[in-house]
Structure 1
Amino acid sequence: MHDFIQLWAQHTPILSILLPAFTGFILVLLGNPGSGSLSYDWRQPWRRGISLISTILGLGLAISYLMLAKTGQITVYNLSEWSAPFGIVLVLDQLSALMLVLTYGLALPVLWFACQQWDERGRYFHAMFHFLMMGLCGAFLTGDLFNLFVFFEVLLLASYVLLLHSQGKPRFQLGVHYVTINLLASALFLIGLGMIYGSVGSLNMADVARLIPTLAEDQHRLAVVGGLILFIVFGIKAAMLPVGFWLPKTYAVAATPVAAIFTIMTKVGIYAILRVNGTVFDDELSQKILSNWLLPIGLITSLYGVIGAIGAERLRRFVGFMMLSSIGTILIAIALFSTQAWTAALYYLVHSTLIAAAFYLFCGWVTAQRGEFKDHFNIAPQMKQHKVMSIIYLLIALMIAGLPPFSGFLGKVFLLQATADAPYQGIIIAVVLLVGLLSILALTRVGFILFWRASRPEDDPDNDAYHSYQALPAKAPKGNDKAIYLLLAALVAYVVFANPIQRYAFSTAQQMQNNRLYEMAVLKQDETGQVISVQPYDPNYLPETKYSGEKPDPNAKLIPYVISPNTLEGEHISDYKQRQINQQIEQDAASDDLPQLKPMEP
């Protein structure tokens, strides 16, 4: 047990990425016959067992990370023992820990429901599910902009396959649109990264945040433009207007458990806006441009979402538009750029993710009990479980509309409190209240059609409609109702423990806005307290390795600060290099000059 605890402490947080990665590889190696053979394939119970156990372990890891981050400690993991900004680092702070818990807390009930029979409708469901989890965890933990792009691509590749799960022409058509949009976003992502790297010389988040204010005017403007391109990319992922029209239709055709787990994917875009545009690009020019655009975008997105919900003709598209409206509410909070507003954004983010997932699961229940009417807003015979379903719908409606005493109400209260000293306070309050009122009207309309105006079932055995109605299931799809109950119970607990959760969110917002703390945790410093970085950038600088021969290196003295003590004492440093390190350290000790990164001879 001691060795296990030591292993966990040493390799946190990469275990959260390796766990779903190895699970996905194992599930691929198990093989997967055609979807028609999965119901009696002897390996299917093994797939489900491995998948569920891995998700439970992932949730346990995420909770342990949350308890660790709660202390305010920022944990940095240097891959291959290369320190930032020269190597890839993973950073576990309060925000990333919160997102990991949310990811696995949503994944467990959704996966459990999918294991009832949904996973038999397509190949490699479980493997793709865990590769999606790998991409999500990596995106939340990486401290490097390029690796944020890499993990985005991992989760997107898995989402392409999951979107087509269960097959069908509508899924294929909208799947092509979904892939095309995300390929365009990926191309823009690379362009933005190129502009940032070309002007800053680094892609480590902490290093970029430290160096941007020091750049010359032309380089600074180029880096800011690169950051704004990334903002467009993250906006596409978050489905904000005017680049979020794809979400309602795309999520409407996804299989029920897939649509439910996809609710966390839009929050990756929100996370990236907070992490990159909110804290990395925190110079005056970036914040001025972003604040001028983000607030109107949030207001318009919130209004458009609820208006689209009022005009929706299907329940699944209705949920998609309500998701857009909630995304707009979160963007409004982010645009205020205050600790209290970001606290409200984080609190409401968790609420909106869980309630949207529960709503999508409810759509599957409705579709199963309405037969040929599916989830279309047409008058249909009364559903066989209409009493319990109407109660569940009422709870979901109260939560998603933001009515007291549920978590959506608290999130909006926190947001309205944060507007106390904000410009355009009256407009923000008016839009939030108007969206709440329109949400109530939209949800009332849906409930009126689905339950109040439902016709009496045909009771004449000689009528074909009677036999069609009797053939409909008398119960919810296996596991569907229980997964909804779990999510609703989590949202009730979210209200009960709102005080400690709000304190954690407030502490998280404070930590996010303290760039100096993040920089000190991620970047290394020499004995004078100067950050060891890539600036001034010298393209002719080629660091010597053990196998590159004996070449003078004016920066040898910095090596002890960027590699671990074990590596320094091992066989990776040549005797010639070690002598250089010792000589330069002795010279610096006898000199009053501060050490600087010096160019090497070409």
Structure 2
Amino acid sequence: MTDLYNFWVQHTPIFSILLPAFTAFILVLLGNPGSGSLITDWRQPWRRGISHISTFLGLIMSIGYLISTSQGQIQVYTLSEWSAPFGIVLVLDQLSALMLVLTYALAVPVIWYASRDWDIRGRYFHAMMHFLLMGLSGAFLTGDLFNLFVFFEILLMASYVLLLHGQGKARFQLGIHYVTINLLASAMFLIGLGMIYGSVGSLNMADVARLISTLQPDQHKLAVAGALLLFAVFGIKAAMLPVGFWLPKTYAVATTPVAAVFTIMTKVGIYAILRVNGTVFDDEYSHQILMNILLFIGLVTSLYGAFGAIGTDRLRRFVGFMILSSVGTILIAISLNTTQAWAGGLYYMIHSTVIGATFYLLCGWITSQRGEYKDHFKIAPQMKQNTLVSIVYFLIALMMAGLPPFSGFFGKIFILQATADSPYQILIIITVLVVSLLSILAFTRVGFILFWRSSKPDENVHSEAHAQYQALPKRAPARNDKVIYLLLAGLMAYVVFASPIYNYAHSTAEQMKDNAIYEAALLKRDAEGNVISVQPFNPEYVPETKYGGEVQDANAHLIPYVISSATLEGQNISEFKQRQIQEQQREQQRAPSDNQLKPQGGP
């Protein structure tokens, strides 16, 4: 039992990626006869069972991560024992644990809801959901900029398929737009990474944060330009203006459970802005450029979302605009660049994700009860569950508009309190208040059309309208209302436990702002305490390979600091290399050298 526990502790961070990955592989290997045959396929209960068990285990695992990191511990996992900055590392800290809990807390009820009916409308629904979870988990855990790109691509490829789930002309058309935009963003991502790597010589986040302020002026400007390019990419993912126009229409055509899960997708972009632009590029020059731009973008995005919600003609697009407005509010918090503001932004981000998903689920309920009118803002016969649906809508409206005593109100208050020392305090307060007022007006308009102005059903039993109305369901789609109640109850609990949650968010913000903690946890040091890193970048350096013969390695003395003692004593290190290590260690004791890797020629 002790060995099992030690194995778990040693490999903890990567399990959150492997679990959805292996689940997705198993679901793909189960095969799929096609959407028309899924309802009678004997494997469908197996798909659902495997999917449910995996997501539930993922939730338990993420909660365990949250508990283990709550005291500020940073767990680092080095893949294949290649230490940072030379290899890929996963970093489990308070922020990544929080994002994993949010992801699985949303995935568990939504996948349970989708398993009643929606998962039979297209092929490989559950497999794609778990590939999406794999990409999300990897993006939240990676400590390397290039692997952030890799996991972005994994989650995006899964989202392409999920967006088209259920088929239809509108989904296909907007799916093409969505894919095109994200392919362009991916190309920009790679260009930005190339600019950073070419100037810094490293893509490990902790190493880049350490080296950015030591670069020569021309290299520094090139690295900052690469960071700003990444910021544009993350802005596309987060759907901030002027690159966020795609979100309302795109999410509006997705199926109900897919749209609900996609609310976490915008938060990946916000996470990346916070993680990369907020902490990695932490020098004064980068912040002077970025934070002022980010504040303006946040203010405009928040206002645009509120005005767009007032002017839209469909409920699903209305939800998309409200999500855009919430993205702007979070960006305002990030732009303030203080621990208190980031803590308020994190608290509000969790609220906006859950309430956005809940609203999309309510759209499915309303659409099912309005028949041919669907979610269009047109006067329609009164819904059969009009009273119940209107009460749920009213609660969601209060929460999303940020009215007391709900979590949206607390989130905005936390952010506004953090503006005390900002020169833009009055502008921010006025914008947030105006957006809240516009949101109330928008929700009032929608509620007036959907509920108060709804007409009485046709009572003529011989009319076609009467027959169509009677054919409408008398209850919510299976599990739809139950999941909504569950998420609303979670938001109620979120208010009750606002104090400890905010304290955790504040502690998370403090941890993120201390780059020295990440440097100490991720980067190795030599006997003199100097960080072992590659700077400046040397393109002529050719490392020794297994089949490259015996090559004199000027950096052999650093090997014991970047690998474990078990590997050092094993068969992977040749006798020739062992002798070099010993000789150079003796030389180091006589005349200590610097901490940089020395250039080395080929064999």
Structure 1 length normalisation: TM-score? 0.99
Deviates more, 1:580-589 or 1:325-334: 580-589
Runs of 4+ in 1 over 6 A off after TM superposition: none
- Secondary structure at 2:77 match in 1: strand
Within the alignment, does 1:198 sit opposite 2:198 as a pair?
A: yes
Structure 2: distance between partners of 1:42 and 1:211 = 57
Report if the CA contact (8 A) 1:588-1:595 is conserved: no
Structure 1: distance between partners of 2:168 and 2:387 = 32
Displacement of 1:590: 2.2
Displacement of 1:575: 0.6
What residue in structure 2 maps to residue 137 of structure 1?
Answer: 137
2:448 partner amino acid: F
Displacement of 1:546: 4.0
2:74 partner amino acid: I
Report if the CA contact (8 A) 1:200-1:223 is conserved: yes
Report if the CA contact (8 A) 2:533-2:596 is conserved: no
- Secondary structure at 2:544 match in 1: coil
Deviates more, 1:584-593 or 1:139-148: 584-593
What residue in structure 2 maps to residue 189 of structure 1?
Answer: 189
Structure 1: distance between partners of 2:139 and 2:557 = 34
Report if the CA contact (8 A) 2:532-2:595 is conserved: no
Within the alignment, does 1:325 sit opposite 2:302 as a pair?
A: no
Structure 2: distance between partners of 1:468 and 1:286 = 61
Report if the CA contact (8 A) 2:70-2:504 is conserved: yes
Structure 1: distance between partners of 2:129 and 2:311 = 33
Within the alignment, does 1:171 sit opposite 2:171 as a pair?
A: yes
Report if the CA contact (8 A) 1:365-1:481 is conserved: yes
- Secondary structure at 2:13 match in 1: coil
Displacement of 1:552: 1.1
Report if the CA contact (8 A) 2:209-2:282 is conserved: yes
- Secondary structure at 2:193 match in 1: helix
Displacement of 1:537: 2.2
What residue in structure 2 maps to residue 61 of structure 1?
Answer: 61
Deviates more, 1:562-571 or 1:112-121: 562-571
What residue in structure 1 maps to residue 102 of structure 2?
Answer: 102
Displacement of 1:45: 0.2
What residue in structure 2 maps to residue 589 of structure 1?
Answer: 589
Structure 1: distance between partners of 2:2 and 2:601 = 49
Displacement of 1:596: 4.2
Report if the CA contact (8 A) 1:379-1:455 is conserved: yes
Q: Which sections of structure 2, spanning at least 5 residues, go unmatched?
A: none
What residue in structure 1 maps to residue 298 of structure 2?
Answer: 298
Displacement of 1:10: 1.1
Displacement of 1:542: 2.0
Report if the CA contact (8 A) 1:546-1:572 is conserved: no
Structure 2: distance between partners of 1:597 and 1:36 = 60
What residue in structure 2 maps to residue 381 of structure 1?
Answer: 381
Within the alignment, does 1:37 sit opposite 2:49 as a pair?
A: no
Structure 2: distance between partners of 1:33 and 1:592 = 67
Displacement of 1:58: 0.4
What residue in structure 1 maps to residue 527 of structure 2?
Answer: 527
Matches within 5 A, 1:36-435: 36-435=36-435
Report if the CA contact (8 A) 2:531-2:595 is conserved: no
Structure 2: distance between partners of 1:6 and 1:124 = 36
Report if the CA contact (8 A) 1:546-1:573 is conserved: no
Displacement of 1:375: 0.5
Displacement of 1:284: 1.2
Partner deviation per Cα, 1:125-177 (whole Å, 9 max, x = no partner)? 00000000000000000000000000000000000000000000000000000
- Secondary structure at 1:91 match in 2: strand
Within the alignment, does 1:502 sit opposite 2:502 as a pair?
A: yes
Partner deviation per Cα, 1:410-465 (whole Å, 9 max, x = no partner)? 00000110000001111000000000011001001111111111111111101111
* C-alpha distance 294-111 of structure 1, shift in aligned 2 (>3 A): same
2:375 partner amino acid: D
Report if the CA contact (8 A) 1:279-1:515 is conserved: yes
Structure 1: distance between partners of 2:80 and 2:371 = 56
Structure 2: distance between partners of 1:594 and 1:193 = 28
1:446 partner amino acid: V
What residue in structure 2 maps to residue 26 of structure 1?
Answer: 26
Report if the CA contact (8 A) 1:546-1:574 is conserved: no
- Secondary structure at 1:474 match in 2: coil
Residue identity over aligned pairs, in percent, reads 73
Backbone CA RMSD of aligned residues: 0.9
Report if the CA contact (8 A) 1:240-1:324 is conserved: yes
Partner deviation per Cα, 1:489-530 (whole Å, 9 max, x = no partner)? 111111011110000000000000001111111111111110
Partner deviation per Cα, 1:227-271 (whole Å, 9 max, x = no partner)? 000000000000000000000000000000000000000000000
Displacement of 1:595: 5.0
Structure 2 length normalisation: TM-score? 0.99
Structure 2: distance between partners of 1:442 and 1:413 = 21
Structure 1: distance between partners of 2:594 and 2:291 = 39
